[in-house]
Amino acid sequence: MNSPALPASFSSEPHPGSSYFDLSRDEWLERIAARKAQLGDQLVILGHHYQVDDVIRFADVRGDSLGLARYASTADAQTILFAGVHFMAESAAILARPEKRVILPDLRAGCSMADMAPLDELEQAWQELATVRDVTRVVPVVYVNSAASLKAFAAQRGGVTCTSSNAEQVLRWAFERGDAVFFLPDQYLGRNVARHLGYDPRTLAVWKRHEPLGGLDAEALASKKLLLWDGYCSVHMGFTRAHVEHWRNERPDIRVLVHPECHDDVVEAADDVGSTAHIIQRVAQSPAGSEWAVGTEINLVNRLQAEHPDKFVTSLSPYPCLCATMYRIRPPYLLWTLDELAAGRVVNRIKVDEQTKQAARLALQRMLEITT
In sequence order, what E strands does the chain have?
43-48, 61-63, 79-83, 101-103, 138-143, 160-162, 180-184, 204-207, 226-229, 255-258, 272-273, 291-295, 312-315
**Partners of 138 in the β-ladder:** 180
Residue pair 109/329 in contact by the 8 Å Cβ criterion:
yes
Q: Are residues 219 and 241 in the same domain?
A: no
Compute the distance between CA of residue 16 and CA of residue 14 in angstroms, rounded to an integer: 7
Domain end, chosen from 233, 250, 275, is at: 233
User: Under 8 Å CB-to-CB from 345, ≥6 apart: which residues?
Assistant: none
Q: What is the mean pLDDT of the chain?
A: 93
pLDDT one-digit tens code per residue, 286-336: 999 999 999 999 999 999 999 999 999 999 999 989 999 999 999 999 999
Assess whether 229 and 119 both reside in one domain: yes
**Identity of residue 108:** R
Whether 122 and 202 map to the same domain: the answer is yes
Q: How far apart, in whole angstroms, are the C-alpha atoms of residue 87 and residue 55?
A: 19
Q: What whole-number distance in Å separates Cα of residue 162 and Cα of residue 366?
A: 9
CA max distance for the chain: 64
315, 246 contact by CB (below 8 A): no
- Domain assignment present for 1: no
Do 135 and 156 fall into the same domain? Answer: yes
User: 358 in helix, strand or coil?
Assistant: helix
Secondary structure class of 206 (helix, strand, coil): strand
CB atoms within 10 A of CB 137: 11
Neighbouring CB atoms inside 10 A of 327's CB total 17
Taking only the tens place, the pLDDT of each residue in 231-248 is 999 999 999 999 999 999
364 domain residue, yes or no: no
Ramachandran quadrant class, 198 (left: phi over 0; alpha: psi -120 to 50; beta: rest): left
Please give the average per-residue pLDDT across 112-126, as a whole number. Answer: 96
Residue 13: the pLDDT is 60
Which domain covers residue 342, as residue numbers?
8-110+325-351
The single-letter code of the amino acid at 225 is K
pLDDT band at residue 5 under the 50/70/90 scheme: very low
Q: How would DSSP label each residue in 256-319?
A: EEE-TTS-HHHHHHSSEE--HHHHHHHHHHSPTT-EEEEES-HHHHHHHHHH-TTSEEEESSSS
Q: Is residue 372 part of a domain?
A: no
Question: Is 63 within a domain?
Answer: yes
- DSSP 3-state assignment of 138? strand
Q: Check: CB of residue 14 under 8 Å from CB of residue 347.
A: yes
Mean pLDDT of 105-131: 95
Residues 29, 129, single domain; the answer is: no
Of 216, 233, 250, which marks where a domain is finished?
233
Does residue 226 fall inside a structural domain? yes
- Name which of 58-67, 79-88, 356-365 the model is least confident about: 58-67
Contact 72, 80 (CB under 8 A): yes
Based on the fold, state whether residues 250 and 293 are members of the same structural domain.
yes
pLDDT > 80? residue 8: no
The CATH number linked to 24 is 3.40.50.10800
Counting the structural domains of the chain, the total is 3
Average pLDDT over residues 204-223: 93
Q: Is residue 366 part of a domain?
A: no
My answer on whether 288 and 309 are in the same domain is yes
Residue of 111, 107, 109, 110 whose CA lies nearest to 15: 107
| pLDDT higher than threshold 60 for residue 348 | yes
The fraction of the chain above a pLDDT of 70, given in percent, is: 96
**What is the pLDDT at residue 2?**
38
**What letter would DSSP give residue 84?**
S
End-to-end Cα spacing for the chain: 47
Residue 371 pLDDT: 84
Q: What contacts 327, CB < 8 A, 6 or more positions away? A: 52
pTM for the structure as a whole: 0.90
More confidently predicted of 68 and 317: 317
Q: What confidence score (pLDDT) does residue 66 get?
A: 77
CA dihedral 92, 154, 179, 194 (to 10 degrees): -40
Same domain for 133 and 186: yes
What is the Cα 93 distance to its own chain's centre? 15
At a CB cut-off of 8 Å and minimum separation 6, what does 281 contact?
none
